[in-house]
Amino acid sequence: MLLFCHMDKMKITASRFYPEEFLKKIDAEKYKSKGTCEVSIEIQGLELDIKNITYRIDHDGKIQLKPPFRIHSNKKAGIKPKLVPSIVFKNGEIWTEIESYIRKELATLKLPELPKKRSMQLDFLNKIF
């Protein structure tokens, strides 16, 4: 599926969605699905692949998206953990169009509801007994 926006004929295509298992009980309580995705965009001949876009879908179907980021900290220098964007869109309309596109794709996809991850200890005990 392609999206052409009014901004300089930007073309967006979804490459892949990567659902994640719930590692924490609180995540399973808050979200129906979560993971990352990647998209390809083309603007006036410039092609970019944007990876590690985080998505969360709550039980009411509300979708939350975050652009790629990493967590930076340095305890020795007194820098507390904070999110640092990997890519910054100077024109906010570009990210708005990407968000809109991903929301439409997620709404039409049948993402599997992943089971809660069991502890390694329980898996080990089940194999013994």
**pTM, entire model:** 0.70
What is the predicted pLDDT for the residue at 51?
Answer: 92
What is the predicted pLDDT for the residue at 112?
Answer: 57
Distance between CA atoms of 105 and 98, rounded to whole angstroms? 11
The secondary structure of the chain in percent helix, strand, coil, rounded to multiples of 5, reads 25, 45, 30
Distance between CA atoms of 50 and 19, rounded to whole angstroms? 17
What is the predicted pLDDT for the residue at 101?
Answer: 92
- End-to-end, the C-alpha distance of the chain in Å comes to 50
What is the predicted pLDDT for the residue at 119?
Answer: 44
Instruction: Give the pLDDT means over successive 10-residue stretches in the chain (129 positions).
Output: 55 88 88 93 90 92 90 83 84 91 86 51 45
What is the predicted pLDDT for the residue at 128?
Answer: 47
Domain extent listing, the chain? 2-128
